[in-house]
Structure 1
Amino acid sequence: MSKLSEINDWLQENLPRLVAEHGVPGATAAVTVGDEVVEAAAGVLNKNTGVETTTDSVFQIGSITKVWTVTLAMQLVDEGLLDVDAPVRDYLPEFKIGDEDAATKITVRQLMCHTSGFEGDLFTDTGTGDDCVEKYVATLHETPQLFAPGERFSYNNAGYTVLGRVIETVRGKSYDECLRDHLFAPLGLTHAATSAYEAIMFRAAVGHITPDPEAGPQVAPLWSLVRSNIPAGSMLAMRPRDLLAFARMHMNGGVAADGTKVLSPVAVEAMQQIQVEVPKLALMGDTWGLGWELFHYPQGTVIGHDGGTIGQSAFLRLVPEHGVAVALLTNGGNPIEVYQQIFGHVLRELTGIELPARPEPAEVTEPVDGERYVGTYASSVGEREVTQDEAGRLWMELVPKGIFAELSPKRAGKTELLPWEGDTFLAFEPMLGIHMPHAFVGDDGQGRALFLHTGRADRRVAL
Structure 2
Amino acid sequence: MSTLDELSALIQERLPGLLAEHRVPAAAVAVYAHGEVADCAAGTLSGSTGVEATRDSLFQIGSITKVWTATLAMQLVDEGKLDLDDPVCRCLPEFAVADRDAARRITVRQLLCHTAGFEGDIFTDTGKGDDCVEKFVATLGDVPQLFAPGQMFSYNNAAYCVLGRIIEVLRDKPYDDCLREHLFTPLGLAHAANGPYEAILHRAAVGHLTPAPGADPQPAPVWALARSNAPAGSMLSTSARDLLAFARLHLDQGKGPDGAAVLSAGSAAAMQRRQVELPYLGILGDAWGLGWEIFDWDGRTVIGHDGGTIGQSAFLRVVPDRQVAVAVLTNGGSPLPLYTEIVGRVLRELADVTMPPLPAPGAGRERTAVDASRYVGAYSSCVADVVVTQDPEGRVWVERTPKGELAALMGAPEKTELVAMRGDTLLTATPKDGMYLPHAFVGDDGEGRALYVHTGRADRRVSA
Using the size of structure 2 for normalisation, the TM-score is 0.98
Match of 1:294 in 2: 294
Match of 2:82 in 1: 82
Counterpart amino acid of 2:264? S
Native 8 Å contact 1:382 1:400 kept in 2 = yes
Say if 2:365 is the partner of 1:380.
Answer: no
* 1:216-365 to 2 correspondences below 5 Å: 216-362=216-362, 363-365=365-367
2: CA distance, partners of 1:185 / 1:333: 33
Match of 1:458 in 2: 459
* 1:15-414 to 2 correspondences below 5 Å: 15-362=15-362, 363-365=365-367, 367-412=369-414, 414=415
2: CA distance, partners of 1:372 / 1:213: 33
- Deviation digits for residues 75-104 of structure 1, max 9, x if unmatched? 000000000000000000000100010000
- Runs (4+) of structure 1 exceeding 4 A deviation are none
Following TM superposition, by how much is the alpha carbon of 1:339 offset from its aligned partner in structure 2, in angstroms? 0.2
Counterpart amino acid of 1:139? T
Native 8 Å contact 2:2 2:350 kept in 1 = no
Following TM superposition, by how much is the alpha carbon of 1:366 offset from its aligned partner in structure 2, in angstroms? 5.0
- Deviation digits for residues 251-298 of structure 1, max 9, x if unmatched? 001001111210000000100000000111111100000000000112
Following TM superposition, by how much is the alpha carbon of 1:378 offset from its aligned partner in structure 2, in angstroms? 1.3
Native 8 Å contact 1:305 1:317 kept in 2 = yes
Which has the larger displacement, 432-441 or 91-100? 432-441
Match of 2:437 in 1: 436
Match of 1:422 in 2: 423
- Deviation digits for residues 336-378 of structure 1, max 9, x if unmatched? 0000000010100001100102222242445322211111111
Structure-2 change in CA distance of 1:270 and 1:380 (3 Å):
same
- The total of aligned residue pairs comes to 462
Counterpart amino acid of 2:104? T
Native 8 Å contact 1:211 1:408 kept in 2 = no
RMSD: 1.2
**SS of the residue aligned with 1:461?**
strand
Counterpart amino acid of 2:372? G
**SS of the residue aligned with 1:315?**
strand
Counterpart amino acid of 2:432? M
2: CA distance, partners of 1:455 / 1:398: 15
1: CA distance, partners of 2:318 / 2:256: 16
Following TM superposition, by how much is the alpha carbon of 1:404 offset from its aligned partner in structure 2, in angstroms? 3.0
1: CA distance, partners of 2:437 / 2:47: 29
Following TM superposition, by how much is the alpha carbon of 1:300 offset from its aligned partner in structure 2, in angstroms? 1.2
What is the aligned-residue identity percentage? 62
1: CA distance, partners of 2:353 / 2:436: 23
Native 8 Å contact 2:194 2:237 kept in 1 = yes
1: CA distance, partners of 2:121 / 2:368: 37
- Deviation digits for residues 411-460 of structure 1, max 9, x if unmatched? 22x11100100000000111222211000000111111110000000111
Native 8 Å contact 2:368 2:419 kept in 1 = no
- Deviation digits for residues 294-316 of structure 1, max 9, x if unmatched? 00112411000000001000000
2: CA distance, partners of 1:96 / 1:408: 28
2: CA distance, partners of 1:438 / 1:367: 17
- Deviation digits for residues 59-83 of structure 1, max 9, x if unmatched? 0000000000000000000000000
Counterpart amino acid of 2:50? G
1: CA distance, partners of 2:63 / 2:100: 28
Native 8 Å contact 2:2 2:349 kept in 1 = no
